[in-house]
Structure 1
Amino acid sequence: MKPNLLLPVLLFVAHSFAQTTEVISLDYPQLQPLLHQNSETVQVVNFWATWCAPCIKELPYFEELNKLEGVEVLLVSLDFPKHKQKRLIPFVEKHKLQSRVVHLYDEDENYWINEISTTWSGALPATLIYTQNRRGFYEQSFTKDELFKEVKSYF
C-alpha cells in the first residue's frame, strides 16, 4: 500500500470503530428500574420496533422531545432478538438516534406487559410518561403536537 493512502485508510477504520452503536439487551427485571426513576425530570418511555410503521413515523418526535430541558426519553425496542444486529443497530445508526435505546428481550410478555400497564394489550407503539407525582400510559401513536402537549401537561 502506498504511504499516502495509508493514513486515510487508518482514519476511516478508526472512525468506523468509533461509530459503533451500543444497544444493550435487558430482561424485564433489568428494565424495571428505568420505568420507576425517582427524578425531577419528565420520563418518557416509548415501546417500539423497527417493523412497526407507526412507531417509525413518530420516532422523530421523541428525538425532538429528548432535546427539551427537563425531559428524558428512553426508546425500548421490542425487535426480535435475531434482528438486533441486522436491523435494530443499523436502524439506530442510520437515523442517528440520540435518545437512549435499549432492547427488551424477555419472553414472558404476559407478565411484563401487565406490569407496565394493566391497560396495555401489547400493541405498538406504546408510551409511558411519568414523574414523581403522575404516571400515564398511552397505547397509541402520537402526532408531534399531541406528544408535546401531553408531555407539557406533566410539568
Structure 2
Amino acid sequence: MNILKTKTLNPLVYVVLTFIFFISCKDSTPEVAEKKSTKLNITQEIPVYDFSEFEPLLYTDSNTTYLINFWAMWCAPCVKELPYIEAFAAKHPDVEIILVSLDFPKDIETKLKPFLKKKNITQKVVLLDDQDSNTWIDKIDPNWSGAIPFTIIFNKDERLFFERSFENLEDIENQFKKLN
C-alpha cells in the first residue's frame, strides 16, 4: 500500500517542482533587463572614425551633458581611471559617456574587445584613427598637448577640458559640478 501511495504522489511532486522551477526562473525585475541592454555588447562593432567623422560627436544643441574620454589600452593612467568613469556613468545615467580609444584598428577584435570584457567596460567605445593628430588635437582644444588621458565634459553652453587622469569617482563628480 505504501508503494502505491508513493507512486501516485511522485507525478504530483514532479508537477509542483517543475512549476516552482519555472516561477523562480522568471525575471520579474524590468530594471535589471533594462540595465543589461545598455551594457556594451562585446560582439558588436566598435566604430572606427577619422576626425571629420568623429568631430560632430564633440558638439550638442540638446540638453544632454557629455563626458568624452580619450584613452588607450597601453596608457596606465587611462586604464586606472576607467573604473571611475564606469562608476560615474552608473550614478549619472543621464550623462552620455563616449570612450574614444586611440588604439590601432587592427587590434579591435584581438586586443580591444577582450580588454573591454576583462575590465567590465560597458560604456560606448569608438576608435579614432586619424594620423593627422597635430590638426585634430588643436581643433579639440588648442591647449591640449596630445597627452592622454584627456577628458571633455560639456553641454550646449559650456566645455571643460582635463589633460590628466581622474583619481577617483569623487574627483570626476567635483569637476562635473563645475559645469553650469
TM-score range normalised by the length of the shorter chain: 0.7 to 0.9
Residue 133 (str. 1) matches residue 157 (str. 2): yes
For 1:38, the equivalent position in structure 2 comes to 61
Report which of the two has the higher share of helix. 2
Across the two proteins, how many residue pairs are aligned to each other?
138
Q: Which amino acid aligns with 1:53?
A: A
Residue 79 (str. 1) matches residue 87 (str. 2): no
How does the TM-score come out when normalised to structure 2? 0.72
For 2:171, the equivalent position in structure 1 comes to 146
Change (3 A) 1:71 1:19: closer
SS of aligned partner of 1:128:
strand
Among residues 112, 115, 134, which one is paired with 1:91 in the alignment?
A: 115
For 1:15, the equivalent position in structure 2 comes to none
Identity rate, percent:
43
Does the aligned pair in 1 maintain the 2:42–2:116 contact within 8 Å? no
For 2:84, the equivalent position in structure 1 comes to 61
Residue 26 (str. 1) matches residue 49 (str. 2): yes
Residues 103-114 of structure 1: pairs in structure 2 closer than 5 A: 103-114=127-138
Q: Which runs of 4+ in 1 moved over 6 A?
A: none
Which runs of no fewer than 5 residues in structure 1 stay unpaired? 1-17
Residue 51 (str. 1) matches residue 74 (str. 2): yes
Deviations 1:44-63 (A, max 9, x none): 00000000000000001111
Which runs of no fewer than 5 residues in structure 2 stay unpaired? 1-40
Does the aligned pair in 2 maintain the 1:42–1:151 contact within 8 Å? no
| Root mean square deviation of aligned Cα | 1.5
Q: Which amino acid aligns with 1:111?
A: T
Task: Tell me how far apart the structure 1 counterparts of residues 45 and 105 of structure 2 sit (CA, whole Å).
Answer: 15
Does the aligned pair in 1 maintain the 2:67–2:152 contact within 8 Å? yes
Q: 1:38 Cα shift?
A: 1.9
Q: 1:37 Cα shift?
A: 1.9
Among residues 133, 139, 144, which one is paired with 1:115 in the alignment?
A: 139
Task: Tell me how far apart the structure 2 counterparts of residues 92 and 19 of structure 1 sit (CA, whole Å).
Answer: 8
Does the aligned pair in 2 maintain the 1:40–1:70 contact within 8 Å? no
